[in-house]
Amino acid sequence: MMFSSSLLSSSLRFRASSLVFPAAVGAFLLLAGCAGEERPTAAEFTAAAEETLIEHYYDGSRAAWVQSTYINEDTTALAARFGAEGLTRAVDFAQEAATYDAASEADEVARKLNLLRGGLTLAAPADEAKIEELSQIATRMEAAYGSGKHCPDGPDTSTCRSLGDLEDVIDNSRDADALLDAWEGWRTISPPMRADYQRFVELSNEGAQALGFADTGAMWRSKYDMPPDDFAAEVDRLWDQVKPLYDDLQCHVRAELSDHHGADVVDPAGPIPAHVLGNMWAQSWSNVYDLVAPPAAAPGYDLTGILRSRGASEVEMVRMAEGFFTSLGMESLPDTFWTRSQFVKPQDREVVCHASAWQLDLDEDVRIKMCIDINAEDFSTIHHELGHSYYQLGYRDRVPLFRDSANDGFHEALGDTIALSVTPGYLVDIGLLDEEPSADADLGLLMRMALDKVAFLPFGLLIDRWRWAVFSGEVPPEEYNAAWWRLREQYQGVGAPSERTEEHFDPGAKYHVPGNTPYTRYFLAHILQFQLHRDLCEAIGYEGPLNRCSIYGNEEAGRRLSEMMAMGLSRPWPDALEAATGSREMDATAILDYFAPLAEWLKEQNEGRACGWS
Ligand code: X8Z
Ligand code: ZN
């Protein structure tokens, strides 16, 4: 449930999206009746499958929740057990669904058949032992990530550092040696996952192939209401729209970091080494803002400082974010959200700190799981997670198979769209800021935002470029790590800071790989959130610069978003996009509009610099 839950697709662990909810192997036989009876119609089959899936859903997601918030041998074994049962059910229904001809059915039934067959994030061969093995691998990899620590002096010694400890260094230190030490340290947790991952690829591909897909990657690409190859081309089209802006940002950031650290650490003509970008994965760069900011930009405001000086607590930050959603006319979060969520990292046990949002019953039992730090980044992540919660609540009246977003990019985009409206003007409205900074501050504010959002784009793309190639066999196990770094360089212009070999398994140090969460959704979300922001601002009659627009308190904007969310997965995604924006196509020009003043400034800065990397 990385973000949610959905009856299917989610993985074993019922995460993110999808109702996969499988019924025990053979459960379908009950639906089908005894020998001699007629086979159910497609409508009867899909309705019965939904009923079975939903019946078992809550138990499985509770087991997954407990494992993620209390990692030990017992919870891992229980989660794996429930995962295997869920997977068995899902595979069983998927295979049965594949025997119907979706094209000859009415729209809604056809959609359900396709979801049952292709909605899984993880498929498995219909073989009890293999399902068990796959479920154990998946559960073990996630637990290994969640409890991973760098222990230079041996396991369980006092010098062990958790991901959070190592991120403190990467996010804040300016010392290249300390940065490298933390960067390499975190990557000691993933080599032990390599063999598991290789087997995971084999088994999940076997499952996808049994359902008629070329491999697991092809199954993932089949969920976008278009042929899988067209989807890959669509992603390329969107990337081509924004790549020139990214390249200019990379060029400027590289030059400034090279000035700061010296050309021996940051080669002014090569890829930027991954340890100096202020983020463990070099996926967003706002922590190096001070080093690359426009010198003349007026100071904006320091939200982290404000939150801390006001003594804001974790739960108060969540309350503030909820206030944004209710200002749009949406309901308050249920009481159980507040009593069952995890906001603060527990001190007495291991948990998966990576933020996520869950809908355990596919109804009102929505929760988020975070280890909140009092800072601006986590304030933004809280909005991201509540976006998932509100989406989940928004579609809860749909039939179970349609309780998911229009495509997974929409689920990821909703909360970020709201966070784009957390403008200085909004902060004044809610009393966090005394007065709005003047327009001179905009270049700096845009730079901070670009370091977060524009820097992310190629990263959002390349994780699944790597996995698609791994699943298809184009990248064999003996090239896992080399292929990873080739893609990092090609798309991001970011390189390894020290020698990496096939002894390492650097993809495993990014949550979504051991967590088996598809990642192209975040690339789509980064495009969609700007499109939603621009088009909603336009719809409510806003005319100024896009970075100063806030939809706070605007019920028309809320109505459009609610309409999109309430559709769930019942219609193809262009219908949902149209409900909110009036447009049926994803369009990256909104991101270009938003950053236009910064793009111009970057061009001036880069004059005379040799941009690009080879
Ligand atoms: O994983 C997340 C969310 C949960 S769905 C916190 N994100 C990606 C990441 O952290 O890598 C949000 C942005 C990208
Ligand atoms: Zn998310």
Using most ligand atoms within 8 A of CB, pick from 411, 492, 522, 529 the residue to mutate for ligand 1.
522
Q: Among candidates 80, 191, 185, which has minimal Cα distance to 143?
A: 80
Position 432, amino acid:
L
Atom 7 of ligand 1, residue of closest alpha carbon: 522
Atom 13 of ligand 1, residue of closest alpha carbon: 522
Which amino acids bring their CB within 6 angstroms of ligand 1? 2-3, 283, 355-356, 381, 384, 522
% the chain with pLDDT above 90 = 92
Q: Is 412 a catalytic residue?
A: yes
pLDDT tens digits, one per residue of 411-434 = 999 999 999 999 999 999 999 999
CA dihedral 581, 585, 588, 593 (to 10 degrees): -40
The catalytic position among 56, 261, 275, 354 is 354
Q: Which ligand is nearest to the CA of 2?
A: 1
Q: Are 97 and 45 in contact (CB under 8 A)?
A: yes
Euclidean distance between CA atoms 120 and 278, whole angstroms: 35
Taking phi over 0 as left and psi of -120 to 50 as alpha, with beta for the rest, 431 belongs to left
Euclidean distance between CA atoms 546 and 567, whole angstroms: 27
**What are 238's two structure tokens?**
């969107």
Residue 96, SS3 per DSSP: helix
Contacts of 57 (CB under 8 A, 6+ apart): 5, 7, 14, 19, 21, 361, 362, 400
Atom 12 of ligand 1, residue of closest alpha carbon: 522
pLDDT tens digits, one per residue of 585-598 = 999 999 999 999 99
Q: What is the pLDDT of residue 5?
A: 55
**What are 601's two structure tokens?**
């400034």
The catalytic position among 94, 412, 504, 511 is 412
Q: Are 447 and 291 in contact (CB under 8 A)?
A: no
Angle subtended at Cα 26 by Cα 25 and Cα 27, rounded to the nearest 5 degrees: 95
Q: Which ligand is nearest to the CA of 512?
A: 1
Euclidean distance between CA atoms 94 and 577, whole angstroms: 28
At 614, the pLDDT band (50, 70, 90 cuts) reads confident
The catalytic position among 150, 275, 388, 526 is 388
Q: Is 384 a catalytic residue?
A: yes
Q: Is 331 a catalytic residue?
A: no
DSSP H or E run through 6: strand 6-7
Atom 1 of ligand 1, residue of closest alpha carbon: 355
Q: Is 275 a catalytic residue?
A: no
**What are 65's two structure tokens?**
């929740």
pLDDT averaged over the chain? 93
Closest-lying ligand 1 atom to the alpha carbon of residue 355: 6
CA of 32 relative to ligand 1 center, distance in Å:
41
Q: Among candidates 514, 520, 523, 521, which has minimal Cα distance to 186?
A: 514
Angle subtended at Cα 12 by Cα 8 and Cα 16, rounded to the nearest 5 degrees: 55
Q: Are 328 and 426 in contact (CB under 8 A)?
A: no
Q: Is 355 a catalytic residue?
A: yes
CA of 384 relative to ligand 2 center, distance in Å:
6
Work out the average pLDDT over 270-274.
Answer: 98
**What are 454's two structure tokens?**
């524009």
Euclidean distance between CA atoms 467 and 472, whole angstroms: 8
Atom 2 of ligand 1, residue of closest alpha carbon: 355
With 70 as the cut, is the pLDDT of residue 252 above it? yes
The model's pTM is 0.95
Atom 3 of ligand 1, residue of closest alpha carbon: 355
Q: Which ligand is nearest to the CA of 370?
A: 1
pLDDT tens digits, one per residue of 208-217 = 999 999 999 9
Q: Among candidates 376, 316, 379, 370, which has minimal Cα distance to 346?
A: 370
Dmax over CA atoms of the chain, in Å, equals 81
In terms of DSSP bridges, do strands 366-369 and 356-359 run parallel, antiparallel, or are they unpaired?
A: antiparallel
The catalytic position among 512, 576, 588, 590 is 512
Using most ligand atoms within 8 A of CB, pick from 384, 467, 519 the residue to mutate for ligand 1.
384
CA of 412 relative to ligand 1 center, distance in Å:
8
**What are 163's two structure tokens?**
């991901």
CA of 60 relative to ligand 2 center, distance in Å:
21
**What are 556's two structure tokens?**
């028309």
Euclidean distance between CA atoms 576 and 561, whole angstroms: 9
Q: Is 354 a catalytic residue?
A: yes
Euclidean distance between CA atoms 381 and 387, whole angstroms: 10
Q: What is the pLDDT of residue 299?
A: 75
Q: Are 303 and 359 in contact (CB under 8 A)?
A: no
Euclidean distance between CA atoms 166 and 187, whole angstroms: 11
Burial of 541 per CB tally in 10 Å (0-12, 13-18, 19+): exposed
CA of 170 relative to ligand 1 center, distance in Å:
18
With 70 as the cut, is the pLDDT of residue 3 above it? no
Closest-lying ligand 1 atom to the alpha carbon of residue 511: 11
Phi, psi (deg, nearest 5) at residue 368: -115, 155
pLDDT tens digits, one per residue of 133-156 = 999 999 999 999 999 999 999 999
The catalytic position among 79, 182, 232, 355 is 355
Euclidean distance between CA atoms 17 and 15, whole angstroms: 6
CA of 3 relative to ligand 2 center, distance in Å:
5
With 60 as the cut, is the pLDDT of residue 514 above it? yes
At 89, the pLDDT band (50, 70, 90 cuts) reads very high
**What are 112's two structure tokens?**
């359900």
The catalytic position among 255, 385, 413, 455 is 385
The catalytic position among 522, 526, 557, 590 is 522
Atom 8 of ligand 1, residue of closest alpha carbon: 522
Closest-lying ligand 1 atom to the alpha carbon of residue 525: 13
Q: What is the pLDDT of residue 36?
A: 62
With 90 as the cut, is the pLDDT of residue 187 above it? yes
Q: What is the pLDDT of residue 24?
A: 27
Burial of 217 per CB tally in 10 Å (0-12, 13-18, 19+): buried
At 22, the pLDDT band (50, 70, 90 cuts) reads very low
CA of 119 relative to ligand 1 center, distance in Å:
21
Q: Are 173 and 179 in contact (CB under 8 A)?
A: yes
CA dihedral 282, 287, 290, 293 (to 10 degrees): 60
Q: How far is CA 525 from CA 11, 413, 419, 548, 587, in A?
A: 20, 4, 13, 20, 11
CA of 523 relative to ligand 1 center, distance in Å:
11
With 50 as the cut, is the pLDDT of residue 12 above it? no
pLDDT tens digits, one per residue of 29-48 = 333 344 567 899 999 999 99
Helix, strand, coil abundance in the chain, percent, nearest 5: 60, 5, 35
Work out the average pLDDT over 78-91.
Answer: 94
* DSSP for 272-308, written as a single string: EEGGGSSSTTSS--GGGHHHHS-TTPPP---HHHHHH
CA of 53 relative to ligand 1 center, distance in Å:
27
Euclidean distance between CA atoms 441 and 300, whole angstroms: 5
At 26, the pLDDT band (50, 70, 90 cuts) reads very low
With 50 as the cut, is the pLDDT of residue 8 above it? yes
Q: Is 312 a catalytic residue?
A: no
Euclidean distance between CA atoms 299 and 290, whole angstroms: 11
Cβ count within 10 A of residue 290: 10
Q: What is the pLDDT of residue 35?
A: 56
At 484, the pLDDT band (50, 70, 90 cuts) reads very high
Q: Is 56 a catalytic residue?
A: no
CA dihedral 268, 270, 274, 278 (to 10 degrees): 30
pLDDT tens digits, one per residue of 254-266 = 999 999 999 999 9
